[in-house]
Amino acid sequence: MIPEYLKRNLDLFRTGEYTIVSERDEVISIIEEESEGAATLRSKFEDEAVVFHFPEKRTLPYLDANKKACQCADKFIFIRHVNNEKWQLHILEFKKSIKYDKWKKIKNQFKYGVMNARALAAFLNMEIDGIVLETAYRNDWKLRNAPYSPTAMRAANSATEAAAYKEWKENIVILELDSKEISFFHEKIQLDVEGNGEKVFKYNY
């Protein structure tokens, strides 16, 4: 069950800021309304969770937007460990299309998403035990030369773009946090042409 102290802390938040998921297989719609990635993700949960709907609009107010510190991912999803009070943080970003410049922005949104989510968790007294990054998108990254081969990419694209594409295609994202590079598991969620999709959220052991 969701701990009572957490319920009391969450009660301090404005109505509509979050959704508590307490029933196994409960279905909620996670909605992104921004034109950049308008979407509806029909979501099921195998574990108890708390979904924060507007973190990209609720970054720490004393951050400097000119330094891109106010960029943040779209959704925070805290999923509770079945046997203790630790939480796995899922950071979800919606994008209509994936390409080089968008991927650079997504990584920055992930980075500051992690930092803002840590602050939120500290306020709520939630211990984070692992972080998963997720991107929901309609249109996949299309290279100027296809099919993909490392040799062809080096010939037609910059080394940094080739590395970024390789990172997108694989399941690991490297972010610079805490003065070091940290690897995170990254899951891609394919949406249909209208921005609709489905996802089962669970604690990844």
Residues whose CB falls within 8 Å of the CB of residue 150, separated by 6 or more in sequence, listed in order: 162, 166
127: tokens are 């211990």
Give percent above pLDDT 90 in the chain.
Answer: 81
Q: Residue 19's pLDDT is what?
A: 97
At 128, the pLDDT band (50, 70, 90 cuts) reads: very high
DSSP bridge partners of 199 = 43
**What is the strand order of the sheet 172-177 is part of?**
18-21, 49-52, 75-80, 86-97, 127-139, 180-190, 172-177
The pLDDT tens digits for 3-45 are 999 999 999 999 999 999 998 888 999 999 987 778 999 999 9
Closest listed residue to residue 41, CA positions, set 170, 204, 187: 187
What average pLDDT is seen over the chain?
92
Mean pLDDT of 52-59: 97
At 70, the pLDDT band (50, 70, 90 cuts) reads: very high
Residue type, 67: K
DSSP bridge partners of 92 = 75, 134
Question: Is the predicted pLDDT of residue 155 greater than 70, yes or no?
Answer: no
Residue-range domain boundaries for the chain: 4-142+174-200
Q: Are strands 39-45 and 49-52 parallel, antiparallel or unpaired?
A: unpaired
Give percent above pLDDT 70 in the chain.
Answer: 93
User: Please, what is the Cα angle at 205 between 77 and 141, to 5 degrees?
Assistant: 60
Q: Residue 151's pLDDT is what?
A: 60
Q: What secondary structure does DSSP assign to 89-137, as a single string?
A: EEEEEEEEE--HHHHHHHHHHHHHHHHHHHHHHHHHT-EEEEEEEEEEE
